[in-house]
Amino acid sequence: MSLIQKYNVPGPRYTSYPTVPYWDEGSFTTSLWKETLVRSFTESNASEGISLYIHLPFCESLCTFCGCNKRITKRHDVEHPYIDAVLKEWQLYCELLPKKPIIKEIHLGGGTPTFFSPKNLERLINGLFENAIKHPEHEFSFEGHPNNTTRAHLQKLYDLGFRRVSFGVQDYSDTVQKAIHRIQPFHNVAKVTFWAREIGYTSIGHDLIFGLPFQRLHDVIDTIDKTNSLQPDRLAFYSYAHVPWIKGNGQRGFKDDDLPQDEEKRLLYELGKKRLSENGYHEIGMDHFALGSDSLYQSFKNGKLHRNFMGYTSSKTQVMIGLGVSSISDSWYSFAQNVKTLEDYYDALAQNDLPVFRGHILNAEDIVIRKHILNLMCHFHTSWTDYGTYFSEIPHVIERLEEMKKDGLVQITENTLTVTEKGKPFVRNICMAFDLRMTRNQPETALFSMTV
């Protein structure tokens, strides 16, 4: 049996620990969430600031590879009331905090953030700073759809302080694009990439996906060669997460048999990774690559890379507040997720309530394990040398890693664990050995996409 067949099992992507299916929702209350948020905000020093993730859910058409929360509509009169609601939610948070927050990071995600007009995005960002201060070293980013991102979008957000943009490319194959309902010519991607560079964006990213329906090796090579010709500063090269059982995710129009499997799928990644390396891209964490000049690579090299619900970030803030429908917030000591429908979101805010519907308060064990999983996902290394990093289950974790050690995926000493080069593709599996909540309560139904 190959390593791919052996370790290709369902597993989390670990943008959090505990992962959402293992949150203890029964002991969570919005009051406790508020308490931990204020505590964490007070602990954070002013120079660190806070992060904001803002979910902008609207899309004009459905991409069938997407597992995100979205609302499909061509009506743009939805923009104004949604921004009003997000700013109302932000105001409720600012009223909780003991002093004006300093915003270090903003990330606009979706959905399709560039569904919104430049004028409305300006109203959103300016509205945030009516109650906040802009950090002198702020890092603002947004996701742009190449088909509808205009030069006006790019210029307006640049003028508002945004210096990083990521464009969803996925794959340039006509067959693949038709299957995932994302018809997007190379010309469109090239145009917005050149515009962003001309305007002055310092980090331009492209998001690629391997493992898509009908995708073959020559498709991935062609996509990466076209991408290399544009030289984006960073790349996400994600494994397609096939989770058709999640309600409303739109993964239809193709069958399971249409997807590349096991060795075939991994070969797409390995040869794609080799091609990227040959063109000056460095592998960072899981599924990410960057040129040596990009801040993400510098953070990885300096041991400052961080991972949260926004993915990998080049700096850590202890407080991350998620605004908008379905957004998840993180106070380090707890997580809180907003309601998932627009109707519930608007109803809660009309009652002057935070639109939180579930969450998790981390216990002492959770926090220690969270540190280890972050270390593995960001640095491929962790250690348990003191009270803050040791927990009683460590011997059992090492037992669970024994087979991976024999396979050369990890190196283990008395108090350290290092992921080998051979083990990097299996970092999710390695993290699962630390995941005590999943170990103690193995799922009976499908919860996660495959790890490989």
pTM of the predicted model as reported, rounded to 2 decimal places: 0.92
Q: Counting beta carbons within 10 angstroms of the beta carbon of residue 271, is it exposed (0 to 12), middle (13 to 18) or buried (19 or more)?
A: middle
Q: Quickly state the pLDDT bin for 245 (edges 50, 70, 90).
A: very low
Q: What residues are paired with 282 via a beta bridge?
A: 290
CA distances from 422 to 269, 274, 284, 427 (A): 14, 14, 15, 10
Distance in angstroms (rounded) separating the CA atoms of residues 444 and 257? 23
Pick from 159-168, 227-236, 440-449: least confident: 440-449
- pLDDT per position as a tens digit, 8-33: 777 788 989 999 999 999 999 999 99
Q: What whole-number distance in Å separates Cα of residue 185 and Cα of residue 98?
A: 49
pLDDT in tens, 72-83: 999 999 999 999
pLDDT value at residue 445: 57
- pLDDT tens digit sequence for 90-132: 999 999 999 999 999 999 999 999 999 999 999 999 999 999 9
Task: Determine the average pLDDT of the residues in 352-368.
Answer: 96
Segment 202-229 mean pLDDT:
95
pLDDT digits (tens, 9 = 90+) for 383-435: 998 767 888 899 999 999 999 999 999 999 999 999 999 999 899 999 999 99
pLDDT, tens digit (0-9, with 9 covering 90-100), for 272-309: 999 999 999 999 988 899 999 999 999 999 888 988 88
Residue 18's closest CA among 398, 405, 366, 441? 366
pLDDT at 288: 93
- For residue 35, which of 366, 373, 369, 359 has the smallest C-alpha distance? 359
| Backbone dihedral angles phi then psi of residue 72, each to the nearest 5 degrees | -90, 125
On the question of pLDDT at 446 being above 60, the answer is no
- Give the torsion through C-alpha atoms of 415, 421, 423, 424, to 10 deg: 100
Task: Give the pLDDT of residue 250.
Answer: 54
- Of the candidates 236, 150, 147, the one whose C-alpha atom is nearest the C-alpha of residue 196 is 150
Burial of 343 from C-beta contacts in 10 A (0-12 / 13-18 / 19+): exposed
Q: Does the pLDDT at position 188 exceed 70?
A: yes
The pLDDT value recorded for residue 90 is 98
Identity at 424, one-letter amino acid code: K
344 pLDDT more than 70: yes
- Residue corresponding to tokens 């959402």: 20
pLDDT at position 265 over 90: no
The pLDDT of residue 256 is: 78
Predicted confidence band at 7 (pLDDT cuts at 50, 70, 90)? confident
pLDDT band (50, 70, 90) for residue 216: very high
Mean pLDDT over each residue of the chain, to the nearest integer? 91
Query: Binning pLDDT at 50, 70 and 90, where does residue 319 land?
Result: very high
pLDDT for the residue numbered 253: 61
Structure confidence at residue 129 (pLDDT): 97
Q: What is the mean pLDDT of residues 264-269?
A: 87
256: its two tokens: 């399971």
Q: Among 227-236, 241-250, 261-270, name the one with the lowest average pLDDT.
A: 241-250
